[in-house]
Chains A and B, each alone.
Chain A
C-alpha cells in the first residue's frame, strides 16, 4: 500500500483533545494536499475525527476552520498554482476559502468507534492510560479487516507493551508530537521490537512531509522528552522541599521556579511547565515510568497532594492556562498555591525578599526571549555561565546545581539506552521544549 493510499482512510482517536486536534489538523491538511494533486483526482479521502463528546467535536471544527485558514494564508502562493485551473477562483480570499472547504470536507466528526473499522491508519491521542489504549487498539484491530497501522502519541508508555498486549503484530509505532503539534517542530519516533519496517518508513515519510524534526528514541518508558522533564521536575520539587525549611513553602517554590527560568535562561520555570502540561498528566506519566525503572523512584507525593486537592493545571479549551502550582493572570504567574492554607498567596508579597536572598544574577544574563533568536547565542551562554561559575550567591548555587543535574539526567538517558546520542537529547530539549541551549554542554 502506497503512502497516499494509506492516508485515504484515517481515524484520529481523541481528536478533540489538545494533542489530538493538532494531529488531526496536520494530517487533514496532508490528506487534502494529496487529494488536490492531479494524479489523485477522483480518489476519496476520509478523516474520522473521533472523540467521546459531541460538544468537544463541534469546538474542534471551529478550531480547525481557524487553523486551516491560517495555514492557507501562509501558503496562498502555492495554492494559487494548485487551483490554477479553477477559473472561478481569482482572489487570494476565494482560493483560501476553497482550501478551507476542501480540508474540512474530508473531516467527519464522530463519537462512534465503528467508523474506525474502515480506516487504514489510526492516530491515537487519548488519555495516557495503558489499559485504555490497549483496550481500544485491540477492539479496533479485531473489527477492522484492513489490518490498520497504529500511530500512538504516547509520551511514556513502551510501544512493545502496547503491541504485545493489543496483539498488533508490529503494526504500531510511537509518533510522539510535542505540544502544540501544529507549532512544535519535534516528533519523537519510537519503534517497538516488532515494529514493521514499512510502518517506520511511512512514519519517516509522513514526518518529512509535515516538516517535523524526528528524533528516534529507544522504547523505554518516558522516552527522551519526559525522561528528562520528569526527572528535572523531581529535582525542582526536591529543591523546594529542601528550601522550605528556611524560607517557607510558597517562597521556596517561587525561588526554584525563578531559578529554573531566569537564571537558567529557559522559556518557563519548572512549575509553570508542570502546570502547562497538567499536574494530572505529569502524575500519570510518572506512574507509567515508575513501573519500568529500576533503582529509581519516579514519583512525587507533592503532585499527589495537588491532585487530591483537585488543583490540576492544564489548559482551557481556548488555550489559556488553568491555575495549578501557580495562578495566572493574562498568562503570567501572579500567585503561588499554598498547600497548607489551600489558597493562593500573591507573589508580590514575598518577591522582593526572595529576590534579595537569591542575589543578583551576573550582568551578562540575557533573558530567554532575547537570546533565543541570537545566532551568536553560544558566546552569550559561555560568558554568562562563566560568570556564574565564580559567583557564590544563593541564586548562583541553586542554578549551578540545577544545570548540573539537568546535564546528568541527559547523560544518563544515553547511558541507560533511552536516547541514542547526547545530541538527540539536546535536540529534544531545544526543539521540543524550546530551550535555548542543550542540557549536555560544557558551559559550567
Chain B
C-alpha cells in the first residue's frame, strides 16, 4: 500500500505522568494508582478536548502484559470505565509487546481508512511498578521467544541489547560508541527535564556525560550496558484521538491543532529467528522504508523523530536504520549533536524511553502525542523549531528485539 486513500488526522493528545524511580513523588512502599486509574486519566484527558464520549465511535487500547503485571486481562472492558458514554461502543485490545501502543494507533488508522469509524479513541497503558525489577525482567522477557528464556540473561532484554552493543563495539569504534551512548543519555535527560510528565523531570545530575560513561558492571548487571543506558520501569498511560475529516468537524477541533497522518509502515519478523547481524535493526529499517514510501517523503524532510530508544544503543542503531548515518557511523551522527534538541533532526524531544519513561504498552501512543505537540506548536518548554523545509515528523515503535514495528509519518494538518 502506498498513499492513504482517505485523510486521517490525530488530535487531542494526553499523557499521564510516567511514574517510577526518579520521580520525587514515587514511593515503592506506598500504594499507587492502578491500571484503571491510568486508563481513566488518559481517556478522560482526551474526551475533555474532543467534546465528550458522545463523539467517539470506537476505541482501541494497547497494552503489553497487564495479565502478569496487574493480573488483568480483557482490557477493552476498561474503555467504558472511562466514561459511561463509551458503554457499548466497539473496543479492541491489541498486543505487540513494547510496540503495542503504535499497533493500537495503526488499528485506529485502519478503522478510519476503512470508514468504520470517524473518531477512534486510542489508549496505551502499562503499570509495571507492581513487582521488583528482577521479577519484571521475567515478565518483559515474554516479548522475546519463551524458548530462549532459560539460557537468557537474568535481565533478559538488557542482556539482548547488551549483546547488540557488544557486537557493535567489536565491529566499530568501541570507545566512540560508548561516548555516543553517554551522549544519547545526556540528550534524553536534558529533554526530559523540560517535560513535567517525564520520569526524569526531577533529574538534577550535573555531569550527565560522566554518569552516562559509567563503566558497565557485568557482575551486577550486563556486559555492555550500564543502568543509565536503559529505559526505566514506568507506570503510565497516553491517549490520542484518530479522526477522519468528518470526525475532525464533529469534535470541533481546528486543523491548526491537528496533525495529518501522511503514511505509515508496519513490519514483523520471525520471533524465533536470531538477527543475522546484531549491529543492524533490519525490521526497523524495513518499517521506516515502508512509511517513507507510503508518505512519499525522504529522510531529509523530517523535522523531528521519536525513535524506540529502549536502550541508548537502540537509539544509535535507529539513526542508521532511518538512513541518517551510514552503517557504523551512528555514533558520529549522535556525537556531532545532530539528534540533540538544537540539532539537524531533534530526536525524542520529551526524553524518549530513556528520559520520559517507558510504560511499555503506552510508549507508541506517547510518541504520537509528542509529535502532535511539536508539529502544532504546543510542546511548551519542549518546543523545538520546525523548519519549513522539514515539516514532517516520524515515529518508530518497536516490540521485542526488532520484531514488531510500526513507523508513522506526520505533518501539521492544512
Q: Report A's interface with B, CB cutoff 8 A.
A: 73, 76-77, 80, 84, 87, 90-93, 96
**Which of A76, A84, A87, A90 is close to B134, meaning CB atoms less than 8 Å apart?**
A76
A-B contact count (CB 8 A): 24
Q: Are A76 and B154 in contact (CB under 8 A)?
A: yes
Residue of B whose beta carbon sits closest to that of A94: B138
Cα–Cα distance between A87 and B219 once the two chains are bound (Å): 24
Known: A73-B132, A80-B154. 11 other contacts (CB 8 A): A76-B154, A77-B154, A77-B219, A90-B149, A90-B150, A91-B135, A91-B138, A91-B141, A92-B135, A93-B135, A96-B134
Asked if B329 lies at the interface with its beta carbon under 8 angstroms from chain A, I say no
Asked if B4 lies at the interface with its beta carbon under 8 angstroms from chain A, I say no
> In the assembled complex, which residues on chain B have CB atoms less than 8 Å from the CB atom of A96?
134
B139-184 CB contacts (< 8 Å) to partner A = 141, 149-151, 153-154
Q: List 24 A-B contacts (CB under 8 A).
A: A73-B132, A73-B134, A76-B134, A76-B154, A77-B153, A77-B154, A77-B219, A80-B154, A84-B151, A87-B150, A90-B149, A90-B150, A91-B135, A91-B138, A91-B141, A91-B149, A92-B134, A92-B135, A92-B137, A92-B138, A92-B154, A93-B135, A93-B138, A96-B134
- 10 smallest beta-carbon distances between A and B, as pairs: A91-B138, A77-B154, A76-B154, A90-B150, A92-B138, A73-B134, A93-B135, A90-B149, A92-B134, A93-B138
Cα–Cα distance between A293 and B141 once the two chains are bound (Å): 63
> In the assembled complex, which residues on chain B have CB atoms less than 8 Å from the CB atom of A90?
149-150
Cα–Cα distance between A76 and B137 once the two chains are bound (Å): 11
Binary flags per residue of B120-138, CB closer than 8 Å to A gives 1, else 0? 0000000000001011011
> In the assembled complex, which residues on chain B have CB atoms less than 8 Å from the CB atom of A84?
151
Cα–Cα distance between A87 and B146 once the two chains are bound (Å): 13
Cα–Cα distance between A87 and B151 once the two chains are bound (Å): 10
> In the assembled complex, which residues on chain A have CB atoms less than 8 Å from the CB atom of B132?
73
> In the assembled complex, which residues on chain A have CB atoms less than 8 Å from the CB atom of B141?
91
Cα–Cα distance between A25 and B41 once the two chains are bound (Å): 46
Give min CB distance, A363 to chain B, whole Å.
22
Q: Report B's interface with A, CB cutoff 8 A.
A: 132, 134-135, 137-138, 141, 149-151, 153-154, 219
For the residues of B in contact with A, the DSSP-based class is loop
Give min CB distance, B190 to chain A, whole Å.
26
Give min CB distance, A417 to chain B, whole Å.
41
Cα–Cα distance between A316 and B154 once the two chains are bound (Å): 36
Cα–Cα distance between A76 and B138 once the two chains are bound (Å): 12
Give min CB distance, B102 to chain A, whole Å.
28
Cα–Cα distance between A84 and B132 once the two chains are bound (Å): 23
Residue of B whose beta carbon sits closest to that of A73: B134
Residue of B whose beta carbon sits closest to that of A95: B154
> In the assembled complex, which residues on chain B have CB atoms less than 8 Å from the CB atom of A80?
154
> In the assembled complex, which residues on chain A have CB atoms less than 8 Å from the CB atom of B138?
91-93
Cα–Cα distance between A91 and B135 once the two chains are bound (Å): 8
Give min CB distance, B23 to chain A, whole Å.
22
Residue of B whose beta carbon sits closest to that of A86: B150
Cα–Cα distance between A87 and B149 once the two chains are bound (Å): 11
Interface centre among A80, A87, A92, A96 (most CB of B within 10 A): A92
> In the assembled complex, which residues on chain A have CB atoms less than 8 Å from the CB atom of B134?
73, 76, 92, 96
> In the assembled complex, which residues on chain B have CB atoms less than 8 Å from the CB atom of A77?
153-154, 219
Interface centre among B135, B137, B138, B154 (most CB of A within 10 A): B154
> In the assembled complex, which residues on chain B have CB atoms less than 8 Å from the CB atom of A91?
135, 138, 141, 149
Cα–Cα distance between A93 and B154 once the two chains are bound (Å): 10
Give min CB distance, B27 to chain A, whole Å.
15
Give min CB distance, A387 to chain B, whole Å.
26
> In the assembled complex, which residues on chain A have CB atoms less than 8 Å from the CB atom of B219?
77
Residue of A whose beta carbon sits closest to that of B151: A84
> In the assembled complex, which residues on chain B have CB atoms less than 8 Å from the CB atom of A73?
132, 134
Interface centre among A73, A77, A80, A87 (most CB of B within 10 A): A77
Cα–Cα distance between A96 and B131 once the two chains are bound (Å): 14
Residue of B whose beta carbon sits closest to that of A83: B150
Give min CB distance, A175 to chain B, whole Å.
27
Cα–Cα distance between A77 and B153 once the two chains are bound (Å): 7
Give min CB distance, A70 to chain B, whole Å.
10
Cα–Cα distance between A76 and B155 once the two chains are bound (Å): 9
> In the assembled complex, which residues on chain B have CB atoms less than 8 Å from the CB atom of A87?
150
Give min CB distance, A316 to chain B, whole Å.
19
Give min CB distance, A149 to chain B, whole Å.
33
> In the assembled complex, which residues on chain A have CB atoms less than 8 Å from the CB atom of B153?
77
Residue of A whose beta carbon sits closest to that of B150: A90
Give min CB distance, A97 to chain B, whole Å.
11
Cα–Cα distance between A27 and B132 once the two chains are bound (Å): 26
Residue of A whose beta carbon sits closest to that of B222: A77
Cα–Cα distance between A10 and B406 once the two chains are bound (Å): 60
Cα–Cα distance between A444 and B153 once the two chains are bound (Å): 52
Cα–Cα distance between A92 and B150 once the two chains are bound (Å): 9
Cα–Cα distance between A415 and B197 once the two chains are bound (Å): 62
Cα–Cα distance between A392 and B326 once the two chains are bound (Å): 69
Cα–Cα distance between A92 and B138 once the two chains are bound (Å): 6
Cα–Cα distance between A96 and B138 once the two chains are bound (Å): 12
Give min CB distance, A100 to chain B, whole Å.
13
> In the assembled complex, which residues on chain A have CB atoms less than 8 Å from the CB atom of B154?
76-77, 80, 92
Cα–Cα distance between A93 and B132 once the two chains are bound (Å): 10
Give min CB distance, A211 to chain B, whole Å.
13
Residue of A whose beta carbon sits closest to that of B132: A73
Cα–Cα distance between A80 and B141 once the two chains are bound (Å): 15
Cα–Cα distance between A73 and B131 once the two chains are bound (Å): 12
Cα–Cα distance between A170 and B327 once the two chains are bound (Å): 70
Residue of B whose beta carbon sits closest to that of A72: B134
Give min CB distance, B131 to chain A, whole Å.
9
Residue of A whose beta carbon sits closest to that of B146: A90
Give min CB distance, B83 to chain A, whole Å.
37
Cα–Cα distance between A80 and B153 once the two chains are bound (Å): 8
Give min CB distance, B317 to chain A, whole Å.
25
Give min CB distance, A319 to chain B, whole Å.
15
> In the assembled complex, which residues on chain A have CB atoms less than 8 Å from the CB atom of B149?
90-91
Give min CB distance, B82 to chain A, whole Å.
33
> In the assembled complex, which residues on chain A have CB atoms less than 8 Å from the CB atom of B137?
92
Cα–Cα distance between A87 and B138 once the two chains are bound (Å): 16
Give min CB distance, A90 to chain B, whole Å.
5
Give min CB distance, A41 to chain B, whole Å.
21
> In the assembled complex, which residues on chain A have CB atoms less than 8 Å from the CB atom of B135?
91-93
Cα–Cα distance between A47 and B207 once the two chains are bound (Å): 50
> In the assembled complex, which residues on chain A have CB atoms less than 8 Å from the CB atom of B150?
87, 90
Give min CB distance, A369 to chain B, whole Å.
18
Cα–Cα distance between A87 and B147 once the two chains are bound (Å): 11
> In the assembled complex, which residues on chain B have CB atoms less than 8 Å from the CB atom of A76?
134, 154
Cα–Cα distance between A150 and B92 once the two chains are bound (Å): 68
Give min CB distance, B68 to chain A, whole Å.
10
> In the assembled complex, which residues on chain B have CB atoms less than 8 Å from the CB atom of A93?
135, 138
Cα–Cα distance between A255 and B184 once the two chains are bound (Å): 52
Give min CB distance, B273 to chain A, whole Å.
21
Cα–Cα distance between A77 and B141 once the two chains are bound (Å): 15
Cα–Cα distance between A91 and B141 once the two chains are bound (Å): 9
Cα–Cα distance between A80 and B134 once the two chains are bound (Å): 12
Cα–Cα distance between A223 and B180 once the two chains are bound (Å): 54
Cα–Cα distance between A90 and B149 once the two chains are bound (Å): 7
Interface centre among B132, B137, B138, B219 (most CB of A within 10 A): B138
Cα–Cα distance between A92 and B153 once the two chains are bound (Å): 10
Give min CB distance, B132 to chain A, whole Å.
7
Give min CB distance, B137 to chain A, whole Å.
6
Give min CB distance, B372 to chain A, whole Å.
38
Give min CB distance, B382 to chain A, whole Å.
33
Cα–Cα distance between A87 and B150 once the two chains are bound (Å): 8
